[in-house]
Amino acid sequence: MPGFELFGDLERQQVNDVLESGVLMRYGFDGMRNGHWKARELEDKLSKRMKTKHAQLVSSGTSALTVALASAGIGAGDEVIMPTFTFVASFESIIAVGAVPVLVDIDDTLTLKPDAVEKAVTDKTRAVMPVHMCGSMAQLKELKAICKKHDLLLIEDACQAIGGTYEGKPLGSYGDLGCFSFDYVKTITCGEGGALITDNDQYKKHADHYSDHGHDHTGKDRGAETHPFLGYNFRISELNAAVGLAQIERLDEFLEIQKRNYTVLREALEGLPQVIFRRVPEEGEENYSFLNFFMPDEDKARRAHKALSENGVDGCFYWFDNNWHYINKWDHLKDLKSLGKLPAEINQQLPDYHKQDFSVSHHWMGRTISVLIKLGWTEEEVKVRAKKMVEVLEQF
């Protein structure tokens, strides 16, 4: 991670196909495009790779989440349970459809704590949105049981975990809908792009229409298409899809490199008693894009993170203080700072996150250090990195 590190001839050829045709839009212009339908082809390959009936490409991971929620009929006043540790896109997408983000604690998986989810369910809850952060999965079996018990949707945010599996199923395919990001720093990238996957025919139809202004995509005359319901523009371009088409062919290659580099670092740190690794749920395999571990306490984690950076170990993250990925710095959500008026349901139902007790999440996030696993490292660079990490962390 990220896939741009290994851009090569395959990506260039796919992009050149689009440029030579001159058709950058995924819809229409049939006669000009020389038979190239990059978005369609990528959707087909993605659905096969993820073992689902359908895939819908969109313009970003955030768009994928938004379209997934809308496609399932989630809207004003509906509550969606999500974790305190994620990217801001999670609550942005929920608010975008008029729904209410209900944040609950994480545990040592760095994902949703099932007991906290159960306690957060109300008569307004419509969906649970686990986020498979930093390459590993939530406790999907437990969450699915909760969803079944309360008749809720399970929508997987797998934007950071493509290629991981749970009970032999690709992450994203376990729930009712799954979402991916193909932005510039993901394991496979389109530059900008995203996708949702599902086995539900109606959700696919809704996603197809909703992401293109409500076009029904019937017939071959785009101007004559009808619009059975309101939609928006979340389309991906053929150029972006072309890059992704090359990258998905290389997903297994990237996963193998990530696992190799991850394993070298993990084995080096396993001898340090002060380092405890993030728990990966049983029957799950992460995609090895991050090595995540806990230090004994928050103070040691802060000092260790600083020392790693000062000793040339780049790509280490201390999420507890991060502006974008943890609730500590989400004052714009807590205060509902918006350019315009938000739906009344959000103003009325959003919990007061300034006062809510997230000490369980703080216990884990305050001790967490995440190390990005790069694809471009040489074997020697990984060994040197592992040695430096041990030298730094054994001081704590």
CA distance 194 to 65: 9
Chain segment 365-382, per-residue pLDDT in tens: 999 999 999 999 999 999
pTM: 0.97
- The pLDDT assigned to 184 comes to 96
- The pLDDT assigned to 38 comes to 98
Chain segment 324-375, per-residue pLDDT in tens: 999 999 999 999 999 999 999 999 999 999 999 999 999 999 999 999 999 9
Instruction: Select from 276, 275, 281 the least CA-distant residue to 113.
Output: 281
- The pLDDT assigned to 1 comes to 85
Chain segment 266-283, per-residue pLDDT in tens: 999 999 999 999 999 999
Chain segment 128-183, per-residue pLDDT in tens: 999 999 999 999 999 999 999 999 999 999 999 999 999 999 999 999 999 999 99
pLDDT at 102 over 90: yes
- Mean pLDDT across 172-198: 98
**Could you tell me the residue ranges of all domains in the chain?**
3-250, 252-393
Architecture of domain 3-250 in CATH? 3-Layer(aba) Sandwich (3.40)
What is the fold of 252-393? Aspartate Aminotransferase, domain 1 (3.90.1150)
- The pLDDT assigned to 148 comes to 98
Q: What is the mean pLDDT of the chain?
A: 97
The full 3-state SS of the chain, as one line of letters, equals CCHHHHCCHHHHHHHHHHHHHCCCECCCCCCCCCCCCHHHHHHHHHHHHCCCCEEEEECCHHHHHHHHHHHCCCCCCCEEEEECECCCHHHHHHHHCCCEEEEECECCCCCECHHHHHHHCCCCEEEECCECHHHCCCCHHHHHHHHHHHCCEEEEECCCCCCCEECCEECCCCCCEEEEECECCCCCCCECCEEEEECCHHHHHHHHHHCECCCCCCCCCHHHCCCCCCCCECCCEHHHHHHHHHHHCCHHHHHHHHHHHHHHHHHHHCCCCCCEECCCCCCEECCCCEEEEECCCHHHHHHHHHHHHHCCCCCEECHHHCCCCEHHHCHHHHCCCCCCCCCHHHHHHCCCCCCCCCHHHHHHHCCEEEEECCCCCCHHHHHHHHHHHHHHHCCC
Chain segment 41-100, per-residue pLDDT in tens: 999 999 999 999 999 999 999 999 999 999 999 999 999 999 999 999 999 999 999 999
Print burial letters for 136-147: b (CB count within 10 Å at least 16), e (below 16).
bbbbbebbbebb
Q: Are 74 and 127 in contact (CB under 8 A)?
A: yes
- Mean pLDDT across 252-259: 98
pLDDT at 110 over 90: yes
